[in-house]
Structure 1
Amino acid sequence: MLKFNIFVVAIVCLLSFSCSQVDCTVPQRLDIYDRWENKYTLESEVNNLAALDADNRITKICSTGTWILYEDSDYNTRNPDGANFWLYGNSECVDLPYAFQERASSLRFAGDRNDWQANSINLYSHQNFIGEQELLTDDTPTIQLNDKVNSIIVSGCKSWTLYADANFNDGQGCLCVGPSDESSCLPGLYTSATSLAGMGESVSSLRLGCYCDKEASPEKNNRKSHSEL
């Protein structure tokens, strides 16, 4: 279903002769449901679902984009070992795993808000996309999460180069990370320092594109949805 939806978007653009004549981007959106089928449609992060009267109530979600749900408020920042769940796709719907039913307290998306498959990279201070977050869409000579990155989500069709030094200096090491599928621009998930092949807590700068001989593939469990309980 995911590939079909992407194909439909491409056909719309072709029939309109060019993407400049029609909006080919797909914004991030998440529909969440509780056990009574009450529905909430979200287009931005929510650091505390209690504000929507939806804390510890979500049982099902439909994702357009890449979304992460967290057991605690503020994206498990105060509890890096807390449970979370993530899902990506175009109108991809799932019931939350039994162990995560009615446990979500915060949520956020990864990638560009206005186009979930635009080229970008999300950096996180803890594994499993927990804690502080930094979103980058272009070459960055010094990142805010300098030497703090422990997980990454790559969005779009292109790879990125991570450097251990500032200003794209590869003297202390570099690594290319990329999407899980370049042809359909599906996100690449790197959930831990281990998946970053020694670059965990060592990243200082990034460039869009692969300029390093060393590459790390997204994890083999890079499914449309996954939970860490």
Structure 2
Amino acid sequence: MLKFDIFVVAIVCLLSCRQVECTVPQHLDIYDRWENKYTLESEVNNLADLDADNRITKICSTDGANFWLYGNSECVDLPYAFQERASSLRFAGDRNDWQANRINLYSHQNFIGEQELLTDDTPTIQLNDKVNSIIVSGCKSWTLYADANFNDGQGCLCVGPSDESSCLPGLYTSAISLAGMGESVSSLRLGCYCDKEASPEKNNRKSHSEL
């Protein structure tokens, strides 16, 4: 049987929430066809550990192939191809504050493979020359550098959230969306210090699947 991943991009507050007042820890409620509920507060590499492998049919965000979701109190039925096939899941961004400025790096497109979460300037990343997709959390942009130690001699690129005013996550699903910086990132800085910018992919939906 094919195995699938569920990916939770971010849990975001209602837009009426002020930045300084709103801190929503991430967790996820998932359900099987019998409405058995599993509450998850961290990534799960194997849902069989919860006796939930190949059983999940619905996923809720609460105050290979993949499926991702963000929002506050968002509940969706999984696409048919994912019904009772989910085998792992992971969160992006800060577990304790969805608005914290964070950037998740992934070794494959669509947020699959090895991952690295960064919270501040990093002169040499662990996924050096391996980054193929990115999620930007919080309200600020980041600068990607092709060289270590923030050297822009070989190129740089600014990436950011999809909406700075409401701090919605910026999704860069592939090397193409990274405007030539795919498999070329070596260091990062919080803030935009480059003349070249890449806009996150426009996606008004709060859930999405890649099969």
> Comparing 162-171 with 19-28, which one deviates more in the overlay?
19-28
Identity, % of aligned positions: 96
Is there any run of 5+ residues in structure 2 with no aligned partner, and where? none
Q: Distance in 2 between matches of 1:207 and 1:38?
A: 43
CA contact (8 A) 2:140 2:191 kept: yes
> Comparing 118-127 with 80-89, which one deviates more in the overlay?
80-89
CA contact (8 A) 2:140 2:161 kept: yes
The offset of 1:24, in angstroms, is: 3.4
Mapping of 1:83-94 within 5 angstroms?
A: 83-94=65-76
- SS of 1:9 mapped into structure 2: strand
- How many equivalent pairs are there? 211
Q: Distance in 1 between matches of 2:137 and 2:162?
A: 9
CA contact (8 A) 1:10 1:24 kept: no
Q: Distance in 2 between matches of 1:109 and 1:102?
A: 20
- SS of 1:5 mapped into structure 2: strand
Cα deviation code 1:53-78 (max 9, x no counterpart): 1111111111xxxxxxxxxxxxxxxx
TM-score scaled by structure 1? 0.81
Change (3 A) 1:81 1:2: same
Structure 1 vs Structure 2 CA RMSD: 7.4
Is there any run of 5+ residues in structure 1 with no aligned partner, and where? 63-78
Q: Distance in 1 between matches of 2:122 and 2:140?
A: 16
> Comparing 91-100 with 31-40, which one deviates more in the overlay?
91-100
Mapping of 1:127-142 within 5 angstroms?
A: 127-142=109-124
CA contact (8 A) 2:4 2:87 kept: no
The offset of 1:91, in angstroms, is: 1.5
Change (3 A) 1:80 1:44: closer
The offset of 1:117, in angstroms, is: 2.0
CA contact (8 A) 2:141 2:159 kept: yes
- Segments of 4+ moved more than 3 angstroms: 1-15, 18-24
Cα deviation code 1:24-51 (max 9, x no counterpart): 3110110000001000111100000000
Residue 171 (str. 1) matches residue 169 (str. 2): no
CA contact (8 A) 2:108 2:131 kept: yes
- SS of 2:7 mapped into structure 1: helix
Q: Distance in 2 between matches of 1:28 and 1:51?
A: 20
Q: Distance in 2 between matches of 1:83 and 1:208?
A: 30
Where is the helix percentage greater, Structure 1 or Structure 2? 1
Change (3 A) 1:61 1:80: closer
Q: Distance in 1 between matches of 2:167 and 2:184?
A: 27
Change (3 A) 1:86 1:180: same
Change (3 A) 1:11 1:47: closer
Kindly indicate whether structure 1 or structure 2 has the higher relative contact order, using CA contacts under 8 Å at least 6 residues apart: 2
Cα deviation code 1:9-38 (max 9, x no counterpart): 9999999xx999997311011000000100
Q: Distance in 1 between matches of 2:9 and 2:2?
A: 11
The offset of 1:222, in angstroms, is: 5.6
TM-score scaled by structure 2? 0.88
